[in-house]
Chains A and B, each alone.
Chain A
Amino acid sequence: MAITKGQTFQDSEVVDKYRTLYYAGASGDFNPIHIDPEFGKMVGLGGAILQGLCTMAFATRSVTKLIGDPGKLKKLKCRFSAPVMIEDTITMQGTVTDIKEGLGYIDLKVTTQTGAEVLQKVEAVVEV
């Protein structure tokens, strides 16, 4: 799908109770901070936290939905700036900031219901 400079888009996801387990099984990331709430509390995280790469996968989904072709995503980077807990609602708000030389540059704001930015410095580059 053609995208235009200034275009905005949105996507969201509610982190269900077992998401960290599904993600662990699919990705191999069984770090106890993700699958064991007691362990998460013990190390000061307040419970089990969602794998950052799962949040990144949700963010990626918002971009590939927009462009309609997963093969057109060329780059994605982000900083995991705050933990995502079970039952949080993650909202992705994207803006196409520029289009030049066949590439689209996308800025994403990824927050939870408290307004906390869980990903920062998100940059996505797509073929247009």
Chain B
Amino acid sequence: MAIDIKFIGKEYPAYTYDVSKEKIKEYAKAIKNLDPHYVDEEFAKKSKYGAIVAPPTFAVVFGAFLIEPVFLDKELNLNMAMLVHGEQEMDFFEVVKAGDSISTMAKISDIKNKEKLDTISVEVTSKNQHGRNVCRGVYTFVVRK
């Protein structure tokens, strides 16, 4: 069944994620990126950031807390077995550091019904504890029919 376009604009409750240096290191290892900015505390202290920073794509770790409710949304009722990630867009405004508290919001920004598939885009925006934007992501998923 096609995804109803009436859900465009639907918002999901904000989530606040506390960034720990251990989680950054775990993520950096998982993506095989041992850049000292992410994993070397001595290097990080002396860097211009003064602390361990997260790889840019770490934004998907706190972003996931807003994507999961979309996937589990009974009203939206996505066919998860047929869903794959189609496109991803990320804009970065400020680095995320260990110790930051990141608040993220999400809304459905687009739904398209095509013959053999539907697409659904979720716009996710994150701010840090200073109220400054850190990242905007647009996740587009493809659901095969």
Give the interface of A toward B (CB within 8 A). 13, 19, 22-23, 25-29, 31, 33, 43, 51-54, 56-58, 60-61, 64-65, 69-71, 73-80, 83, 121
Contacts and interface: CB of A to CB of B under 8 A. Distances in A.
A33 B26 contact: no
Interface of B: 23, 26-27, 29-33, 35, 37-38, 48-49, 53, 55-57, 60-61, 64-65, 68, 80-92, 94-95
Contacts of B87: 77-80, 121
A78 B55 CA distance: 17
A78 B90 CA distance: 9
Most buried by A among B35, B48, B49, B57: B57
Contact of B27 (A26, A56, A76, A78): A26
Given A64-B56, A79-B86, A70 B95 contact: yes
Pick from B83, B89, B90 the residue with the most CB of A within 10 Å. B90
A53 B88 contact: yes
A24 to B, nearest CB: 9
Contact of A61 (B31, B53, B91): B31
A126 B9 CA distance: 30
Nearest to A24: B30
B57 A71 contact: no
Contacts of A22: 29-30
Given A71-B53, A75-B91, A26 B86 contact: no
A85 B7 CA distance: 33
A73 B56 contact: yes
Contacts of B29: 22, 26
